[in-house]
Amino acid sequence: MNSERQHNHDNRKTHLQHIDEQISCVDLFCGVGGLTHGLIREGIDVLAGVDLDPQCRFPYEHNNNTTFVKRDIRELSSDELIKMFGNSKLRLLAGCAPCQPFSTYSRKSRKVKHDEKWDLVSDFGRLVRDTQPEFVTMENVPQLLHYEVFQNFLADLKHYSISWSVINCADYGVPQSRKRLVLIASKLGKVELLIPDRLEENNSTVRKAISHLSPLEAGSCDPKDRLHTASSLSEINLKRIRASKPGGTWRDWDESLLAPCHRKQSGQTYPSVYGRMKWDAPAPTITTQCFGYGNGRFGHPEQHRAISLREAAILQTFPEDYIFLPPEEPVIFDKLGRLIGNAVPVRLGEIVARSILQTKIRGERSILDMRESTHE
């Protein structure tokens, strides 16, 4: 047996000794807790979430009953991370570094080629390399595949079984078209991201997700749920949304309703702004500006308004009772839109957890087989 195979064999044998332990997780770039909430729902013990944004502390801790650590990942040492895991025998390190540096829009609008946020993926790799957790997961935009930083991250996982793919979250029960790169890695043997359950595709629609919520007018709020509040619309935008069809574009409007940008040749390439969602299809990707009618296809399929903050959160598969701010704080659209739009869908966290737990189950079966063969 060569040295690398011996290393892998010894590594796996050591970890299998603790296979009956619960998996514990530290969630880097945790945000308001979308990934964490999904992991917890499937039985993974999330010990802490780390994020630089102090606005994430309340929703993260309140909804997940775990610890929020306000830290810049670039300044987080491996020793600190090891202390967070404590005596955990099976450790999962999760990291969804901010994806803006890899988005098409941000590349076009930025003159400087290098952005320090790109280094966050490298810092995630550093922490993996230094602490060697039993499991690793990462979520990011598909564009990351085209950059050297992704290949470097794979190199940091050289002693792991790795599975990664670009998925449409709608295939996994998330009611929005959201393409993401999802990676999972394991030291306990072969790991695979679960194949979508085709029976759940019919649930990935706007109708299934939000049609039961109380109707709203633009600028109004549900008295029973202050997150179910819709932004105001100007008189011209009220006329525009009334003229908009589900799944249509501003090209359906009378010319008198067109904005100056639509009349320019450059505006012809943005047909999805000022659009309505379709009831019986997934929503578009929920972004940080999803509460604004003019920011994309975020018009309600039927009511003359943009989707509410609560509807956006539900389309991100947060539970309807997920609390995003303490009662004394006012609802601020920009702030809450950013927290909701930047989140990992809870459902995606559940899928990641199930995929990792399948690896654990296979390891348990391997132990049983080893024990049975020994007794024979």
pLDDT, tens digit, 9 for 90 and up, residues 22-49: 999 999 999 999 999 999 999 999 999 9
Q: What CA–CA distance (Å, rounded) separates 323 from 214?
A: 18
Q: What CA–CA distance (Å, rounded) separates 202 from 220?
A: 31
pLDDT confidence of residue 368: 44
Number of Cα atoms under 13 Å in the Cβ half of residue 316: 27
Give a three-class secondary structure readout of the chain. CCHHHHHHHHHHHHHHCCCCCCEEEEEECCCCCHHHHHHHHCCCEEEEEEECCHHHHHHHHHHHCCEEEECCHHHCCHHHHHHHHCCCCEEEEEECCCCHHHCHHHHHHCCCCCCHHHHHHHHHHHHHHHHCCCEEEEEECHHHHHCHHHHHHHHCCCCCEEEEEEEEHHHHCCCECCEEEEEEEECCCCCCCCCCCHHHHHHCCHHHHHCCCCCCCCCCEECCEEEEECCCCCHHHHHHHHCCCECCCHHHCCHHHCCHHHHCHHHHHCCCCCCECCCCCCECCCCCCCCCHHHCCCECCCCCCECCHHHHHHHCCCCCCCCCCCCCCCCCHHHHHHHHHCCCCHHHHHHHHHHHHHHHHHHHHHHHHHHHHHHC
What are the tens digits of pLDDT across the range 99-139? 655 454 444 444 444 455 568 999 999 999 999 999 999 99
Q: How many CB atoms lie within 10 A of CB 286?
A: 28
Helix axes 346-375, 34-41, angle to 10 degrees: 40
Reading the block at residue 147, the tokens are: 């950059």
All residue ranges of the chain with pLDDT < 50 are 1, 3-9, 12, 14-16, 102, 104-114, 199, 265-267, 367-376
pLDDT confidence of residue 115: 53
> pTM for the complete prediction?
0.87
Task: Note the maximum CA span of the chain.
Answer: 84
* CA–CA distances in Å: residue 203 to residues 198, 283, 347: 10, 12, 12
Q: Which fold has domain 3-198+345-368?
A: Rossmann fold (3.40.50)
Beta-bridge partner residues of 140: 181
Question: Cα 176 to the chain's mean position, in Å?
Answer: 12
Q: What is the CA radius of gyration of the chain?
A: 23
pLDDT confidence of residue 213: 98
pLDDT confidence of residue 251: 79
pLDDT confidence of residue 256: 79
pLDDT confidence of residue 116: 54
Catalytic residue among 99, 169, 221, 290: 99
User: Are 93 and 28 in contact, with CB atoms under 8 Å apart?
Assistant: yes
Domain map (residue ranges) of the chain: 3-198+345-368, 206-341
pLDDT confidence of residue 363: 58
Reading the block at residue 187, the tokens are: 């030291």
Q: How many CB atoms lie within 10 A of CB 49?
A: 28
Q: What is the CATH number of domain 206-341?
A: 3.90.120.10
* CA–CA distances in Å: residue 210 to residues 103, 220, 221, 320: 28, 17, 15, 10
Q: Does the annotation mark 99 as catalytic?
A: yes
pLDDT confidence of residue 196: 83
